[in-house]
């Protein structure tokens, strides 16, 4: 044979030998099977129990309505702007200030609703919400 000439049986193999890959995958599978129960092992503890049920306190809500003519209604009680300021200051001074829900009439002036919002903000009320009717 001449140098550089190869026969068909001497040609380099162009296939990937899968045996080492399968061996490595089997070893990784065995390691995974052995370590999963160790990772999910839980320490058994006897935790103390609470003596009383938790108190579910709902924050108080105040419904402020602004009518068409600009009249302010606090939970079905008509107020003047100065009485509203006093009522809002008293509400803000409570340990748990109530949530103020503002309902503005569709025909009410925007400025009247804005004045109520500004009064609530100046009094220190943090929770303000708007009540609307769902559209059809």
**Which pLDDT score, from 0 to 100, does residue 30 have?**
93
Judge whether 66 and 102 are in contact, CB under 8 Å. Answer: yes
Is 0.75 surpassed by the pTM of this model? no
Does 25 score more than 90 pLDDT?
yes
Comparing 135 with 46, the larger pLDDT belongs to 46
Average pLDDT score over the chain: 80
Comparing 4 with 56, the larger pLDDT belongs to 56
Q: Which domains does the chain have, with CATH numbers?
A: 61-130 (3.30.420.270)
**99: which strand partners?**
61
**Residue 87 burial (CB count, 10 A):** 19
> For the residues of 44-96, what is the DSSP string, one character each?
-------SSPPP--PPPEEEEEE-TTS-EEETTEEE-HHHHHHHHHHHHTSSS
Residue range 73-91, pLDDT digits in tens: 988 889 888 888 888 888 8
**Which pLDDT score, from 0 to 100, does residue 8 have?**
57
**How far is the C-alpha of 107 from the C-alpha of 96, rounded, in Å?**
33
């Amino acid at each position: 044979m001449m140098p550089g000439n190869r026969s068909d049986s001497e040609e380099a193999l162009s296939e990937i030998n899968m045996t080492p890959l399968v061996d490595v995958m089997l070893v990784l599978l065995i390691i995974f099977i052995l370590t999963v129960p160790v990772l999910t092992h839980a320490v058994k503890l006897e935790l103390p129990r609470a003596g009383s049920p938790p108190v579910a306190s709902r924050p108080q809500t105040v419904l402020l309505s602004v009518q068409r003519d600009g009249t302010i209604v606090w939970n079905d009680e008509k107020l003047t702007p100065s009485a509203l300021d006093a009522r809002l200051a008293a509400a803000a001074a409570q340990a748990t200030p109530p949530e103020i829900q503002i309902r503005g009439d569709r025909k009410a002036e925007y400025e009247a609703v804005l004045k109520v919002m500004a009064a609530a903000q100046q009094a220190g009320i943090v929770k303000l919400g708007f009540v609307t009717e769902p559209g059809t």
